[in-house]
A and B are shown apart, each in its own frame.
Chain A
Amino acid sequence: MTDQSSESRGTAPDPVIAARGLTRRYGATAVVDAIDFDIARGEVFGLLGPNGAGKTTTILMMLGLTENSSGEIRVLGFDPAREPLKVKRRVGYLPDAVGFYDQLTATENLAYTAKLMGLARAERARLIEAALLRVGLADVASKRVATFSRGMRQRLGLAEIIMKRAEIAILDEPTSGLDPQATLEFLGLIGELKAEGITVLLSSHMLDQVQRICDRVALFKAGRIVLMGAVPDLAVKVLGAGFVVEVEAEGPGIARRLALIPGVTQVETLAVDRFRMTAERDVRADAARAVVAVDGALRRLSVDEPSLEAIYARYFQTTSTGDIRHAA
């Protein structure tokens, strides 16, 4: 995992996954409808959207497990439908509700996939041990998977990806069904993958988590990507502004001064000494400077980052027109 990732970190961001007009139809209905996206190497990319929006279908097309009806998808430069082995050798996949062979131990389960990947015997043992250690399953390595909890299975699935030394990790709802502590740990593991230069693509319904770890997100709705980008950018687009900065300060003409800061769209005066600014970027530094410039006394400066939750809610609130969808 060392030489591959260090090599990739040096190169300029190149798309490791690229979709153009990607479409998947079941019968007459397009479940994934002409979507375009590029995912750069080393990026953590989130797929969001209501149930049945087409996230899993998109993921399956990336792995060649479902064929696309039209359009194009390239993973690491290969077409997964035509050269699935090349793609699957370098991409790790954690399906939603991942399953293992219950009668086998954790090590045996990983050994099976390692053999399917064609890893040599000596390498296999070493990689499996290291991967189980990484995800914190080393002490239950020789226990049968039947005894594993949901969280342990999920981590075992991640261990498989680590063992595989995948360049891209595709995780479908990796934290669904995990308790808050397990979720936190799992997110930590995903963060480690990112730090190693592995591209991570994950789908999730847990917006705050997605916001915490994703560089960019794509919002799916009925098979289309309706929003895509970094969360702050989306906030500007959907909420009109990205940041809400509250300033508590005393001094003459502060409100006027704050309004002059570039990027600030609105300044509300909440009390004589309290102001709320809406801005496109984090303007705390400028606000502090503005207060100091008028000889004011700055008492508190706080920022509310735009929440994905708010964006999501706002988007589906304003655009939903009461259409019925059959969520799975």
Chain B
Amino acid sequence: MRREGSPFQGLSTVFVKELADHISSIRMLMLEFLVVFTALAALYEAINSLRQTTAEDPFLLLRLFTIDRAPLPSFVAILGFLIPLMAIGLGFDAINGEHNRRTLSRILAQPIYRDALLLGKFLAALATIGISLAALWLLVIGLGLIFLGVPPGGEEIARSLVFLVVAICYAGVWLSLAMLLSTVFRSAATAALVSLGVWLFLTVLWPMLAPAVAQVIAPADPRYALLGLNDPVTAVWTQELLRLSPNDLFGEAMLAVLSPTTRTLGPVFLDQLRGAVMGAPLPFRESVMIAWPQTVGLIAGTIVLFAFGYVLFQRQEVRA
């Protein structure tokens, strides 16, 4: 049975309205402050340490993103932590908020499909995050220009733009999750709590649990331990398990794109490569190819979660 009309009728209207809501909301302002201040702190440390090292570095600007000086993590690591928070903050009451305000049945009585409402809300929140990240990106480039005094090269700009795109995909996963939960739970507080629970689990607990689970699945051969090495089988399992978390995918993709010397994201070499001392930088294309599977993973996660939310929302009763 074919539905009449376009499922996207009214999409742009919903998009514009939601975008305006987000941008003028106190909530967004607070998230914005949080992100900008933490990012500035990380950048400040990065700039300080970069100014001390006068060594020639063709990718000085990119080092701004990735350098970390205790106690602060790098700019990218901070974003890996805060982007989910922003996405959850914008998505946790997307659908149940309409229910609770009792606007849903009135809006759906207008000539639009539910598709337009859901997709419009998703795109608006993603655009909001995209705008914030783009502003942040400009901030980094600007600060680099002012304090490091070197104009960024074309490749650096290209790589940092890839960073921007991957970061938006990463935000998409969390946004889809938050919106899915906002469809499942009628109470916005519950949806927010569950979203944050998933986020904490995947960012904090999972990196600790994954090696243990890998040990159970593929116990390390004691002979490797005698040699002071990791069992490659266990290491591969650990890696694959870690990749279930979007944070890990984001981190890996960023490593490939922002540290041009990264040749592989394979588990065995990962630790040795993090120092980025060996070898020459990879061409831009090849770095992107290394980051590609991770990016696709993030996009796929977004689509799967969104699809779940979509199906649920289509079947949901409109009345409160």
- Residues A93 and B111 in contact, CB atoms below 8 Å apart: no
| B13–A84 touching, CB < 8 Å | no
The 4 closest A-B pairs by CB, nearest first: A99-B102, A93-B109, A116-B110, A115-B13
In the complex, which residue of chain A has the Cβ closest to the Cβ of B103? A99
Question: Which of A60-68, A196-204, A223-231 lies at the binding interface?
Answer: A60-68
Q: Does B244 contact A (CB under 8 A)?
A: no
Apart from A84-B111, A115-B10: 16 A-B pairs, beta carbons within 8 A: A60-B319, A63-B109, A65-B318, A82-B3, A82-B4, A83-B4, A84-B113, A85-B9, A85-B112, A85-B113, A88-B111, A95-B105, A101-B101, A112-B17, A116-B13, A118-B111
Residues of B within 8 A of A65 (CB): 105, 108-109, 318
A115 to B110, CA, bound (A): 10
Question: Do B101 and A95 have beta carbons less than 8 Å apart?
Answer: no
Q: How far is the CA of A83 from the CA of B3 in the complex (A)?
A: 7
B81 to chain A, nearest CB (A): 30
- Does A184 interact with chain B (Cβ within 8 Å)? no
Contact of B106 with A160 in the complex, beta carbons under 8 Å? yes
Complex alpha-carbon distance, A93 and B9, angstroms: 19
- Determine the main DSSP class of B at the interface with A: loop
Is B311 close to A, CB under 8 A?
Answer: no
CB contacts under 8 Å to B, within A82-106, are 82-86, 88-89, 91-95, 97-103
Q: Are B101 and A99 in contact (CB under 8 A)?
A: yes
Could you say which residues of chain A place their CB within 8 Å of the CB of B71? none
Encoded as 1 (CB less than 8 Å from any A CB) or 0, chain B from 95 to 139 comes to 000000111011111111100000000000000000000000000
CB distance from B146 to the nearest CB of A (A): 38
Given the complex, which residues of B lie within 8 Å of A92, measured CB to CB? 109
For residue B154, CB closer than 8 A to chain A, the reply is no
Can you show 24 pairs from A to B with CB atoms below 8 A apart?
Answer: A60-B318, A65-B105, A65-B109, A65-B318, A82-B1, A82-B3, A85-B4, A85-B9, A85-B112, A91-B109, A93-B109, A95-B105, A98-B102, A100-B101, A100-B106, A103-B21, A112-B13, A112-B17, A115-B10, A115-B17, A116-B107, A117-B110, A117-B111, A157-B106
Across the interface, do A89 and B106 meet the contact criterion of CB distance under 8 Å?
Answer: no
User: CB distance B109 to A95 under 8 Å?
Assistant: yes
A122-163 contacts to B, CB under 8 A, are: 157, 160
A66 and B317 contact, CB distance less than 8 A: yes
A175 at the interface (CB under 8 A from B): no
B5 at the A interface (CB under 8 A): yes
Partner of B112 from A56, A66, A116 at Cβ < 8 Å: A116
CB neighbours of B320 from chain A (8 A): 97
- Bound complex: CA A100 to CA B102 (Å): 7
B188 to chain A: closest CB distance in Å? 14
Task: List which B1-53 residues lie within 8 A (CB) of chain A.
Answer: 1, 3-5, 9-10, 13-14, 17, 21
Chain A residue numbers with a CB within 8 Å of B318 are 60, 65-66
B21 CB contacts on chain A under 8 angstroms = 103
If the complex has contacts A85-B5, A118-B9, are A97 and B102 also in contact, measured as CB distance less than 8 A? yes
Q: Tell me if B13 and A98 are in contact (CB < 8 A).
A: no
B103–A100 touching, CB < 8 Å? yes
Partner of A99, one of B3, B14, B106, B108: B106
What residues of chain A lie closer than 8 Å to B4, measured between beta carbons?
82-86
Q: Mask for A262-304, Cβ within 8 A of B = 1, else 0?
A: 0000000000000000000000000000000000000000000
Given contacts A95-B109, A112-B13, whether A101 and B1 have CB atoms under 8 Å apart is no
Inter-chain CA distance A65–B111, complex, in Å, is: 11
Residues of B within 8 A of A93 (CB): 105-106, 109
Find out whether the CB atom of A113 lies under 8 angstroms from the CB atom of B107.
yes
| A contact residues around B17 at 8 Å (CB) | 112, 115
* Distance in Å: Cβ of B12 to nearest Cβ of chain A: 9
Query: Which residues in A have their C-beta under 8 angstroms from that of B317?
Result: 66
B3 nearest in chain A by CB position: A82
Please, how many angstroms separate the alpha-carbon atoms of A95 and B14 in the complex? 20
A contact residues around B102 at 8 Å (CB): 95, 97-99
Closest to B117 in A: A116
How near does chain B come to A97, taking the closest CB pair, in angstroms?
Answer: 5
CA distance A296 to B320 in the complex (A): 64
CB closest chain-B residue, reference A83: B4
Provided the pairs A95-B109, A99-B106, A113-B106 are in contact, do residues A56 and B101 lie with their beta carbons within 8 angstroms? no
Complex contacts, A101 vs chain B, CB 8 Å: 101, 103
The interface residues of chain B lying within 8 Å CB-to-CB of A103 are 21
A288 to B106, CA, bound (A): 53
Q: What are the residues of chain B within 8 A of A85 when measuring CB–CB?
A: 4-5, 9, 111-113
Task: Determine how close the nearest CB of chain A comes to the CB of B65; give it in whole angstroms.
Answer: 36
In the complex, A160 Cα to B105 Cα: how many Å? Answer: 13
Please tell me if the beta carbons of B10 and A116 are within 8 angstroms of each other in the complex: yes
CB neighbours of B110 from chain A (8 A): 88, 113, 116-117
Q: Which residue among B14, B106, B110 has the maximum number of chain A CB atoms within 10 Å of its CB?
A: B110
Chain B residues with Cβ under 8 A from A63's Cβ? Answer: 109
User: What are the residues of chain B within 8 A of A88 when measuring CB–CB?
Assistant: 109-112
Chain A residues, CB < 8 A from B107: 113, 116
Q: How far is the CB of A199 from chain B (nearest CB, A)?
A: 16
Nearest to B99 among chain A residues (CB) is A99
Q: Given the interface contacts A86-B4, A112-B17, A116-B10, does A102 sit within 8 Å of B105 by beta carbon? A: no
Specify the chain A residue showing the minimal Cβ separation from B317. Answer: A66
Q: How far is the CB of B31 from chain A (nearest CB, A)?
A: 18
Report the bound CA distance from A101 to B98 in whole Å: 9
A56: which of B3, B10, B109, B319 is its contact (CB, 8 Å)? B319
